[in-house]
Amino acid sequence: LMQQAYNEVVKYKDKVSSDPYRLDYHLMPPVGLLNDPNGLIQYKGVYHVFYQWNPFATTHGAKYWGHYSSTDMVHWRLEPIALAPREWYERNGCYSGSAVEENGLLYLFYTGNVKNEDGTRETYQCLAVSSDGIHFEKKGPVLRLPKGYNAHFRDPKVWRSNDRWYMVVGAQTHDEKGEAVLFTSTDLYNWEKVGRMAGSGLNGLGNFGYMWECPDLIHLNGKEVLLVSPQGLKPRGHLYHNLFQSGYFVGQLDYRNGKFRHGDFVELDRGFDFYAPQTFTDEKGRTVLYGWMGITDEDEQSQPTISNNWVHALTLPRKVELIGEKVYQRPLVELEKLRKNQVRHQNVKVEGKQVELAGVNGTPLELLLNSVRVGKGKFEVTLRNEAVLSYDADKQEMSLQRTNVKTKQPEIRTCKLSSLSNLQIFMDRSSIEVFINNGEEVYTARYFPAPDDLSISFKGNAIFDLTKWDLEKIK
């Protein structure tokens, strides 16, 4: 299996790298389809990012765990495949999961996915162990499907609290409600249920989706934050317009019964392509998040990269902090290493008509707008004639518009924003990540401009200081 996967990489290497939409400084599959980030950890000083990977097609299928490693979070090495779906308990995929270190060993927890011919599913939460971070020995299932749940039960995230290990699993109850379920262990091999942590219809939450994927419980600023990707939320006002959502609840976990008392759900990202994020704490004590810069929807198969045998990427790594009850995300400071060819414009005044600024164009690049003051009406930044970022000072709304890959029609995502003071925009060859007001809101999206259109223009009423850097290609 592994050899077949490597053959695919070699076979399509030139075709994949010839794609004008191949990204310069994001993690991508060497061939085929990538989805969730998995097993994020800094182990023996080295950063490891694993990812859901189908090497054989640009569709979803029996997933592998692909693997990248890094010592600086900027430059990455493609490592050998970590997990291939070989055993009976993972026949249809080594699905998403997480990593922890204990006594010098690296433990990967993941979901063994089995689909039977009669259409039924089986699910096993599995363990694989490594002493070098590269080669993994499978230990098989460590947790079976508990009573009360359908086989949509997956994506174990493991952490330690005091003297015990905890695991949260994403689940669907028999009556088709999404839920996060808590388990505990003292030895990482034997797991018992603690309780129902949170879910649709639990802890005062109303109907909140039929399945919760990729839960992650993290500790920020003395509080607990449950990240989760619920499926089945209906659009409401400006919210929940993607097929599936990713967001968080801030609260307090009672480790004795598993109950998580929490506030309202908040979306982590306001753009089009963001799903299944996962975090880890690095040796500097930072909580770092990666998301999948994509989503399983009917549009994904219309992405133009598919004709070059690859699809999807991970987001940039982001430092996560809790300010009040709000999660802020900022690009990791290490990414400044990519900067070159700085261009600065102080006190730029945009008054009505569309303008370009000397030396401010190209891609891949980073744009930083500081001390932004927006006058009456709108302020717009148009990126490569394909994406328009717009702030409406009267309505106090931010929005991002792009062209839908399938319908070729414009589509828009809007969020409430009481004021705009700062914008940090990362453009790669077919992606944009926009950090607003130092990470208060984030927009993540893929977009596919004409490869030779490098224009950036500004319109409306605003004053700002602007710095632009070209960004280096990482490999």
Which spans of this chain sit near ligand FRU (rule: CB under 6 A)?
Answer: 35-36, 52, 63, 95-96, 111, 154-155, 213-214, 275-276, 296
Quote the tokens at residue 186. Answer: 């003292």
Nearer residue to ligand FRU within complex by CB, 25 or 183: 183
Give me the least distance between CB of 114 and ligand FRU, in Å please.
Answer: 13
Nearer residue to ligand FRU within complex by CB, 169 or 374: 169
- Tabulate helix, strand, coil % of the chain (nearest 5): 5, 55, 40
Give me the least distance between CB of 32 and ligand FRU, in Å please.
Answer: 12
36 belongs to the catalytic site: yes
Nearer residue to ligand FRU within complex by CB, 108 or 389: 108
Give me the least distance between CB of 96 and ligand FRU, in Å please.
Answer: 3
DSSP one-letter code for 316: P
Query: For residue 349, which phi and psi values (nearest 5 degrees)?
Result: -110, 120
* Residue indicated by tokens 């509080």: 223
Give me the least distance between CB of 433 and ligand FRU, in Å please.
Answer: 19
Dist. CA 433–CA 109, nearest whole Å: 30
The DSSP code sequence of 180-222 is: EEEEEESSSS--EEEEEEEETTSTT-----SEEEEEEEEEETT
In 3-state terms, what secondary structure has residue 411? strand
Active-site residue, selected from the candidate residues 19, 36, 216, 392: 36
Give me the least distance between CB of 109 and ligand FRU, in Å please.
Answer: 12
How far is residue 205 from each of residues 67, 324, 327, measured CA to CA in Å?
37, 21, 20
Give me the least distance between CB of 286 and ligand FRU, in Å please.
Answer: 24
Dist. CA 335–CA 16, nearest whole Å: 25
Query: For residue 405, which phi and psi values (nearest 5 degrees)?
Result: -65, -25
Nearer residue to ligand FRU within complex by CB, 133 or 294: 294
Nearer residue to ligand FRU within complex by CB, 313 or 471: 313
Dist. CA 190–CA 318, nearest whole Å: 33
Contact call for residues 404 and 299 (beta carbons, < 8 A)? yes
Nearer residue to ligand FRU within complex by CB, 296 or 461: 296
How far is residue 352 from each of residues 355, 358, 417, measured CA to CA in Å?
9, 18, 22
Active-site residues: which are they?
A: 36
